[in-house]
């Protein structure tokens, strides 16, 4: 496995994507950086991280054998890999906030951004960007953020956490290769934040409504029970979980 370690970069995802355009890339090639100046999250958000305190990395994955219709299973796989890695370090009260934020004690401890390369209606490869708050203890302007050290009171080694995540990533991609779609989806849904609890949502028109998260569709839409026996599906651009 090739691991490229950088002191500082604008975005590990951008660096790895550019590298893959310039030369053949080995599966599970990793780029990690002490500081990421323009880290990106879902929906154009920025991932802020204190230099050297956290784990910021991207993984190149050949996914040419995955059906385009199953693209959200990659999001589930990565979420589960990070979840299980954190769980192995005794980080408690973990949940997956749809689609792929990892929460601990209802605060964000990890974010994921997956960028797919699609050619001829087929996914060729993915750049999997992962940020995990490890030893940072102060989060200015981020009141809903936490870290492994804040939760556990213990300091962790970034490289050890990286290898743990990669081990789980390989495990879950192995399940996908075996076409264990139902098992992956079932496990992902079992960890969903606010599942089966009354929750508040905001739509594109800033309209607030309540409902119960029931699960997800195979394409990754969130299934919400709005009224008795009425379940609607929403994609990421349509709603925000307010809590």
The reported pLDDT for the residue numbered 141 is 77
Residues 184 and 212 in one domain: no
Between CA 29 and CA 81 the distance in angstroms is: 17
Q: In terms of domains, do 127 and 98 share one?
A: yes
For the chain, what is the mean pLDDT?
92
CATH number of the domain enclosing 205: 2.30.30
- Residues 8/34, Cβ–Cβ less than 8 Å: yes
The answer, yes or no, to whether residue 94 has pLDDT greater than 50, is yes
Same domain, 202 and 183: no
pLDDT value at residue 149: 97
Sign of the four-CA dihedral 31, 36, 37, 42 = positive
Q: Which residues are CB-neighbours of 210 under 8 A, at least 6 positions away? A: 198, 199, 200, 201
Average pLDDT over residues 210-219: 96
Q: Specify whether 129 is located in the same domain as 67.
A: yes
Express each pLDDT in 123-181 by its tens digit. Answer: 889 999 999 999 999 988 777 899 999 999 999 999 999 999 999 999 999 999 999 99
Do 119 and 236 share a structural domain?
no
Considering the domain architecture, whether residues 133 and 37 belong to the same structural domain is answered as: yes
CATH number at residue 127: 3.30.930.10
Residues 204, 121 share a domain = no
Q: Tell me, what's the pLDDT at 120?
A: 81
Residue 88 reports pLDDT greater than 50: yes
CA separation for the pair 126, 63 (Å, rounded): 7
Do 140 and 225 share a structural domain? no
The pLDDT confidence band at residue 43, using thresholds 50, 70 and 90, is very low
Taking a C-beta distance cutoff of 8 angstroms, is the pair 103, 46 a contact? no
Within this chain, do residues 32 and 49 fall inside the same structural domain, yes or no?
yes
Residue 48: the pLDDT is 62
Q: How confident is the model at residue 47 (pLDDT cuts 50, 70, 90)?
A: low
**3-state class (DSSP) for residue 162:** helix
Same domain, 226 and 161: no
> Do residues 145 and 216 share a domain?
no
30 and 148 both lie in a single domain: yes
Binned at pLDDT 50, 70 and 90, residue 1 comes out as confident
114, 38 in Cβ contact below 8 A? no
Give the whole-number percent of the chain exceeding pLDDT 70.
95
Residue 93, pLDDT score: 96
Range of the domain at 231: 198-241
How many domains does one find in the chain? 2
Q: Does the structure show a pLDDT above 80 at 104?
A: yes
């Amino acid at each position: 496995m090739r691991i490229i370690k950088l002191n500082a970069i604008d975005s590990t995802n951008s660096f790895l994507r550019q590298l893959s355009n310039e030369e053949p890339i080995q599966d599970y090639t990793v780029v990690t950086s002490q500081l990421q100046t323009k880290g990106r999250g879902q929906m154009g958000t920025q991932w802020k991280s204190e230099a050297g305190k956290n784990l910021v990395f991207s993984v190149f994955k050949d996914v040419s054998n995955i059906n385009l219709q199953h693209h959200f299973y990659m999001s589930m796989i990565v979420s589960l890999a990070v979840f299980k890695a954190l769980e192995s370090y005794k980080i408690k009260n973990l949940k997956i906030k749809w689609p792929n934020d990892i929460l601990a004690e209802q605060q964000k401890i990890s974010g994921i951004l997956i960028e797919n390369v699609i050619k001829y209606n087929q996914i060729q490869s993915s750049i999997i960007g992962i940020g995990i708050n490890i030893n940072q203890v102060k989060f200015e302007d981020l009141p809903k953020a936490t870290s492994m050290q804040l939760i556990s009171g213990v300091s962790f080694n970034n490289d050890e956490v990286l290898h743990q995540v990669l081990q789980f990533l390989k495990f879950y991609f192995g399940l996908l290769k075996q076409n264990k779609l139902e098992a992956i989806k079932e496990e992902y849904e079992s960890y969903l934040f606010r599942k089966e609890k009354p929750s508040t949502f905001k739509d594109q028109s800033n309209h607030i409504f309540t409902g119960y998260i029931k699960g997800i569709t195979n394409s990754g839409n969130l299934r919400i029970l709005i009224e008795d026996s009425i379940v609607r599906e929403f994609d990421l651009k349509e709603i925000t979980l307010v809590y």
